[in-house]
Structure 1
Amino acid sequence: MDIKSFQEMLKKLFLALFIAAAVACSANPRVKLDEGSGALRPNAKQEIITKDLVALLEKAHYKKVPFDDSLSSVVFDLYLKNLDQGKNYFLQSDIDSFEPYRKVLLNDLKNGDLSAMFHVYNVYRKRFNEQLKYAISQIDKKYDFTKEESFVYDREKLAWFKTEAEAQESWRKRIKYDLLNLKLSSTGKEGEETKNKKTLKERYQNLLSQENTSNNYDAFQIMMNAFTGAIDPHTNYFTPEDAQRFNESMARSFEGIGAQLMMDNEVVKVMRIVPGGPAFRDKTLKQDDRIIAVAQGDGEFVDVVGWRLGNVVSKIKGPKGTTVRLKVIPAGQELTSAPKIISLVRDKIVDEEQSAKKEVKEVKGADGKTYKIGVIKVPGFYLNFKEMQAGNPDYKSTTRDVRRILDTLKQEKVDAVLMDLRANGGGSLIEAVELTGLFIKSGPVVQVRDPNNRVEINNDEDESISWEGPLGVLIDRFSASASEIFAAAIQDYGRGIIIGTQSYGKGTVQSAVAMDQFISRADRLLLSARDKTNEASNVDESMPQGAPKFGQINFTTFKFYRINGSSTQHKGVTPDIEFPMIYAADKFGESSEKAALPWDQIKSSSYNPYADLSAIKPALIKKHNERMKTSTEYKYLLDDIEAFNKREGETSVSLQETKLKKEREDQDAKNRDRVNARRQLKGLPAIAKGQALPRMDNDFIEDESLDIMADFIELKPAVHNQVAASAK
């Protein structure tokens, strides 16, 4: 399916959608919204968005789940989990008081009534403040680190705190654990205990400060995602600010100064300078600099200390060619120091570090020959859809980047290509189809089924092939969605060898749609009328330029299937050559999601495989297994899996200093032995106890994948000739 057809399918789906007429959003009689001057309250826009969002998903979501009491109960439980997953703040009495909302919460949302959810959120904030303030007040007390007791750091499966005293006892142990951590990492010099307590106070105060800067849109985001997550784990609502951030990440580009920012004790700090951007070229703004004020062009400076990060970012970003001035405290200087003023002209930023990259590796085959393998790391399936629609010939996309890389690799005369899709969570469906087209002549790539069970086939129509030679695809448990479409198509066509572990299992397609187009005229008039009455509400968020006014909904509209008819939902893609999986399928991946759609299959599409690799796969597996028998790194991988599974089952830690210290020393010794074993293989000197362990740039999975590719080249040259012949 081409881009135009895809848009037309979506348009037809939405034409069938009826958005109900606006109704007045009456307050829930069970809840009193006036909970004090610091309480967060919904505004009219949020109430209208809620009502229309529920109507949209009830009619247009792929998963036809009944909007009944059962779903309401799921929303209720998920909301509490999203707020306090570790059960560190709420008391059992709070949970009991919320119970009347369980079966009526969804009906409230249908009417745009957010009073119950805001009441729960305000109780959460109250408990959060109470527990943090209590913790800060207890830091200066004396703690006995010789006493044998433990701290339960994972309380998710435990009951809620029955009393305030029980909650405070848990926090006492958390404080003791945090102080013990700081003590064990200290040098033991005089005065370090005081310093550690000061550090912990600042840490807790920063958490408190961040929570107190949250507004009703932060609360609203959590509420809506509790609702959408109850339907499907990949359906999400984004506020205007988050919608803009999501769309920029998909495009891998934005307009601004080219700096990634973070909060540090109520001050915005520069976390990273993006290569190639205005800040990078100017070289005046540095990592760890703190921004205390922002001015537009020649305008007056606005102090931004204590502001929310998103609001500061929206002040700094802006259209290409405009000027922004910053008051900056250089890294390492006190906040009371005189700031320097930096003037930067905004520009279009393309984050190349999050784009496809290549590296050429050499590997010696069993025949003694040295082969050059081009490794292409693809972090995501990105597409600057807006610029593509505008006709910009240089729009950013995964396929365009990989095509250029392949042209370079051919000039470097590589013998094979390995596409590394590990930790690639997917992205654009269009890009998954077009990227596959770089390796096949033409034909179906993926089948897409809509909510009415109509199936369309997305084809690669471009008969040109960018790479005809040996191909491998490396995947892991966090390769999802578009990555699975690509890997499955390569596997079904017999175009290449799939290496790694079972993929994530996300076989659904989400459409990103601005909520603005679903807000009825009646609702807009209602909102305008209520705004004029100056309805009591918290301050609305500052609107990022170009962001949808009512936010954005990314919801499941289609399910995709391999060209052989099998869904990747739940099952994912099983590699031809498998490595042991570190992350258990029941805890990581689609199969761990309660609200996920089930696996199924449909009729296979008509396609012609490029080659039959079934004859050489057993030989490839045999050679791989033989190497693993004597591989030290493979043994380390198995050890890591065993250790990971053991840690997954642990929920507490000792608070006795000698015991915890010994556990960490034993782990440090194990890590040192492993590093030294690797250094010995490379002829490097051992690292003595007490010396810092150097970073070992070791990627055993990639190294073994390169050996598999060498085997692939040697075993069946006729296969690659067959692929080349199919391309002609």
Structure 2
Amino acid sequence: MKTNFKTIVAFITLVALTCNTISANTTKDPEKDKVIIYVLRNILTRGHYVQKELDDTFSEYIYNEFINNLDPSKRYFTQEDLKEFSQYKYEIDDQLKDSDLTFYNLVYHRFLEKIQSAKTYYSVLLSHPFNYKKNESIDIDYEKIPFAKNEKELVDYWRKQLKLQVLGNIEATEEANKEKLKTDKNFKKPTFSTIEAEARSKVKKDMDDLYIRIDELENSDWYSTFLNSVVSGFDPHTSYMSPDIKTRFDQDMSGKLEGIGARLFKKGIYTEIDELISGGPAWKQGELETGDIILKVAQGDKEPIDIVGMRLDDAIKFIKGPKGTEVRLTVKKKIDGSIKVISIIRDVVELEETFVKSSIVEKNGKKYGVINLPKFYIDFKDQNNRDSAKDMAIEINRLKEQGVEGLIVDLRNNGGGSLKTAIEIAGLFIDKGPIVQVKYRGENPIIRDDTDPKIQWNGPLVIMVNELSASASEIFAAAMQDYKRAIIIGGKQTYGKGTVQNILPLNKFAQNYPEDLGVIKMTIQKFYRINGGSTQIEGVYSDIAMPDRYSYMEFGERDLDEALPWDKVPQAKYQKTNSYSNFADVVYKSKNRINNSAKFQAINEYAKWLKKNQDDTTYSLNYESFKKGNEAKENEIKKFKDVFKYQSDLTFTSPKYELPLFKKDTVLETKRKVWHKNLSKDIYVNEALNVLSELKMNPKHEIVKK
């Protein structure tokens, strides 16, 4: 059945014009909102690392950021709306200085009106079949496409987006029916019209659920969006958290997501993966990654629930669950934008798995140690408790007692943590000297030294990193590279987060205000290497770069809007260790092995393919073309299904001290076996061991003066 689009537009417009009721919760506290703006403005202008003028350029940034945060998919505002909003485009900075919320109020109330209109749009559009033979396409890179010119074009935007959702559901159903036919010869395949009607009904239900959740959001939720549009203009790591969000943040950090072992955060209407807990179910399963967006959650083989627009604590309730149960997450992959269903068996996430652990491997008759450091952890409340530096020193000593002749420190996916422990760990590999420079706004850099002359390990050292190694990981790796104490091997460069944030309660600066105003997480410092260069943006470039899935992707700090720039300060006084007699030769040989490796070449081709797909954001809305396009992509994926499949002939074992523990804790033994098995399948660890085995210490250990 074909439906006249002009008729639909006319009907939608008529209903939208007569639908003036705003059902969203609009309860506001204007005085509190103004106090928050006043306090934030003063904290940021006086304390943020960047001294930024609240000028027309800043005003324009807030204007674009707030509108795009409210309407990332171009579903609500038109260019006609923007024309009205634009009268304040260069006045928001002046409004902020006067705690004037005129711009916010105009956009917010228009947004509430548009939400009500949207309910009419999708309801009418999904009441009839789409024309699946029409040759048309949609670009889902919404940052590139302009806002609709008017309401008529806006309805067409809605039509295409809904049609794409329906097409996806139709294809999924037809694929499921094919599988049923393989196992059940009596299965009667439904007609296309039946499948299509069910697909539209499902999309309609998903949209209904979404707008029920949107209606539950309060003014404070949208006001937080505005405030974050303001503070993010200073840098991407500065953010405002309302009292409710701060409570959820604290719950998150205290382990509320132990069902799958992932920490989540809210990004607009989406739930995004912030961190995978080392050793947890998601980490072991291996498909979920930092930056992935969770769209739907299903309990086992039950119908998935759409969590887009859902409050974070409500989403957590669906993701969590008892040990041994299955959760299926429908995610949008950060790496290429593809939609994937990931099955994870929930388990109890042991904090033990976030601590230092080691393994021993024999290669060419010599023993080597592999130390996994998932985080630079410390207990600031009681520094007598264990921390990563103390644990690292103990682990190295245990490995020395077993006669290892070289060490690999694995920092892959280590997002950082305590700077104090990073400095102390670096000190385990040199006698003494500067490790990092830390700088506040407008002040000279402060050099942070390792003052302990004791060297815990003076043998060959290789440090593994990847694009997710960040912050304190980069400080440690950079120091070892500057001293030429270790070979850094891994991705082309690390994440590039060279800034430090502090959490400040707003009530501390408005002491007489009776209500909780929330907190600001604000960038207050910047890191610099001892050679003077910042780790910001650039990160640490590997001495030996190995192809991986991120090789050609826009990834890391350099991909974030308003990220602070790279710069440099004067070099600190330090001396290279001159530890190795064949450093350059080992690096050269490794690069040749990698370049001549068919496996690494295949990984490199896969990385190029991922980049190509990241850039390809256009989908055909003709069903036959849509299917063919997806089939072609599936066939391309099949070429790379074994790209990371690898098996070395190496055997990894636990250090002796762990063996008695296994008798008391069989779960720990199982976890170690899984880890050791994965190490033997890790082509990157294998090459790191090749490098380690070739390094020769300089017997004289001559110091090269810097």
TM-score, normalising length from structure 2? 0.72
Distance 2:693 2:393 in 1: 22
Distance 2:209 2:595 in 1: 51
Letter of the 1:498 partner, please give it: I
| Structure 2 residue aligned with 1:151 | 138
Residues 599 and 581 (structure 1), Cα distance of their counterparts in 2 relative to 1, 3 Å cut: farther
Give the alignment of 1:316-355 within 5 angstroms. Answer: 352=351, 355=354
In structure 2, stretches of 5+ residues that fail to align are: 1-20, 178-188, 266-270, 281-297, 301-308, 328-347, 650-676
Is residue 688 of structure 2 the alignment partner of residue 704 of structure 1? no
Letter of the 2:389 partner, please give it: T
Distance 1:560 1:409 in 2: 32
Is residue 48 of structure 2 the alignment partner of residue 61 of structure 1? yes
Within the candidate set 211, 230, 238, 2:241 is matched to: 238
Secondary structure in structure 2 of the residue aligned to 1:516:
helix
Letter of the 1:664 partner, please give it: N
Q: Is the 8 A contact 2:488 2:542 kept in 1?
A: yes
Q: Is the 8 A contact 1:42 1:114 kept in 2?
A: no
Letter of the 2:635 partner, please give it: A
Secondary structure in structure 1 of the residue aligned to 2:522:
strand
Within the candidate set 494, 501, 519, 1:503 is matched to: 494
Distance 2:259 2:385 in 1: 19
| Structure 2 residue aligned with 1:440 | 430
Q: Is the 8 A contact 1:362 1:373 kept in 2?
A: yes
Residues 616 and 46 (structure 1), Cα distance of their counterparts in 2 relative to 1, 3 Å cut: farther
Within the candidate set 700, 704, 716, 2:696 is matched to: 716
Distance 2:167 2:310 in 1: 33
Q: Is the 8 A contact 2:415 2:468 kept in 1?
A: yes
Letter of the 1:432 partner, please give it: A
Is residue 508 of structure 2 the alignment partner of residue 517 of structure 1? yes
Letter of the 1:184 partner, please give it: E
Q: Is the 8 A contact 1:213 1:308 kept in 2?
A: no
Q: Is the 8 A contact 1:253 1:351 kept in 2?
A: no
Q: Is the 8 A contact 1:417 1:470 kept in 2?
A: yes
| Structure 1 residue aligned with 2:93 | 106
| Structure 2 residue aligned with 1:551 | 518
Is residue 600 of structure 2 the alignment partner of residue 634 of structure 1? yes
Secondary structure in structure 1 of the residue aligned to 2:49:
coil
Secondary structure in structure 2 of the residue aligned to 1:624:
helix
Distance 2:639 2:51 in 1: 55
- Show CA shifts across 1:549-605 (max 9, x none): 332222222222111222222322111112347557894333344533332222222
| Structure 2 residue aligned with 1:180 | 167
* 1:71 Cα deviation after fit: 1.6
Q: Is the 8 A contact 1:476 1:503 kept in 2?
A: yes
Q: Is the 8 A contact 2:432 2:453 kept in 1?
A: yes
* 1:358 Cα deviation after fit: 3.6
- Show CA shifts across 1:139-192 (max 9, x none): 342234333221221221222111222122122222222222222222343254
Residues 441 and 248 (structure 1), Cα distance of their counterparts in 2 relative to 1, 3 Å cut: farther
Is residue 562 of structure 2 the alignment partner of residue 575 of structure 1? no
| Structure 1 residue aligned with 2:330 | none
Letter of the 2:505 partner, please give it: A
Within the candidate set 368, 374, 378, 2:370 is matched to: 374
Q: Is the 8 A contact 2:238 2:521 kept in 1?
A: yes
Secondary structure in structure 2 of the residue aligned to 1:231:
coil
* 1:58 Cα deviation after fit: 0.9
Secondary structure in structure 1 of the residue aligned to 2:480:
helix
Distance 1:679 1:566 in 2: 38
Is residue 229 of structure 2 the alignment partner of residue 226 of structure 1? yes
Is residue 64 of structure 2 the alignment partner of residue 77 of structure 1? yes
Distance 1:621 1:259 in 2: 39
Distance 1:408 1:148 in 2: 67
| Structure 1 residue aligned with 2:613 | 647
Q: Is the 8 A contact 2:376 2:416 kept in 1?
A: yes
| Structure 1 residue aligned with 2:125 | 138
- Show CA shifts across 1:520-570 (max 9, x none): 43xx2xx57xxxxxxxxxxxxxxxxxxxx3322222222221112222223
Q: Is the 8 A contact 1:426 1:483 kept in 2?
A: yes
* 1:497 Cα deviation after fit: 1.0
Distance 1:182 1:447 in 2: 54
| Structure 1 residue aligned with 2:557 | 590
Alignment: residue pair count: 582
- After superposition, the CA RMSD in angstroms is 4.2
Within the candidate set 523, 529, 538, 1:562 is matched to: 529
Secondary structure in structure 2 of the residue aligned to 1:199:
helix
Residues 259 and 350 (structure 1), Cα distance of their counterparts in 2 relative to 1, 3 Å cut: closer
* 1:430 Cα deviation after fit: 2.8
* 1:416 Cα deviation after fit: 3.4
Bigger Cα displacement from structure 2, 203-212 vs 671-680: 671-680
- Show CA shifts across 1:328-356 (max 9, x none): xx999xxxxxxxxxxxxxxxx98528724
- Show CA shifts across 1:404-427 (max 9, x none): 554554566544333333343333
Secondary structure in structure 2 of the residue aligned to 1:374:
strand
Identity of aligned residues (%): 30
Secondary structure in structure 1 of the residue aligned to 2:576:
coil
| Structure 2 residue aligned with 1:28 | none
- Show CA shifts across 1:79-111 (max 9, x none): 222222332321112211111222222232233
Distance 1:129 1:412 in 2: 69
In structure 1, stretches of 5+ residues that fail to align are: 1-33, 278-286, 290-305, 318-325, 333-348, 529-548, 684-696
| Structure 2 residue aligned with 1:601 | 568
Residues 43 and 601 (structure 1), Cα distance of their counterparts in 2 relative to 1, 3 Å cut: same
Letter of the 1:552 partner, please give it: V
Secondary structure in structure 2 of the residue aligned to 1:449:
strand
| Structure 1 residue aligned with 2:480 | 490
Give the alignment of 1:397-546 within 5 angstroms. Answer: 397-403=387-393, 405-406=395-396, 409-410=399-400, 413-500=403-490, 501-521=492-512, 524=513
Distance 2:259 2:46 in 1: 41
Q: Is the 8 A contact 2:232 2:239 kept in 1?
A: yes
Distance 1:262 1:232 in 2: 21
Is residue 110 of structure 2 the alignment partner of residue 123 of structure 1? yes
Distance 2:535 2:136 in 1: 47
Distance 1:426 1:125 in 2: 40
Is residue 609 of structure 2 the alignment partner of residue 618 of structure 1? no
Distance 2:646 2:409 in 1: 31
| Structure 2 residue aligned with 1:207 | 210
Letter of the 1:223 partner, please give it: F
Q: Is the 8 A contact 1:363 1:707 kept in 2?
A: no
Distance 1:309 1:677 in 2: 35
Distance 1:255 1:274 in 2: 12
* 1:475 Cα deviation after fit: 2.2
* 1:653 Cα deviation after fit: 0.6
Distance 1:586 1:658 in 2: 30
Q: Is the 8 A contact 2:366 2:405 kept in 1?
A: no
Within the candidate set 668, 671, 693, 2:634 is matched to: 668
Secondary structure in structure 2 of the residue aligned to 1:659:
helix
Q: Is the 8 A contact 1:374 1:409 kept in 2?
A: no
Give the alignment of 1:346-365 within 5 angstroms. Answer: 352=351, 355-356=354-355, 358=357, 360=359, 362=361, 364=363
Letter of the 1:92 partner, please give it: Q
Q: Is the 8 A contact 2:37 2:96 kept in 1?
A: yes
| Structure 2 residue aligned with 1:341 | none
TM-score, normalising length from structure 1? 0.70
Letter of the 1:565 partner, please give it: G
Secondary structure in structure 2 of the residue aligned to 1:550:
coil
* 1:702 Cα deviation after fit: 4.9
Q: Is the 8 A contact 1:55 1:110 kept in 2?
A: no
Residues 487 and 136 (structure 1), Cα distance of their counterparts in 2 relative to 1, 3 Å cut: farther
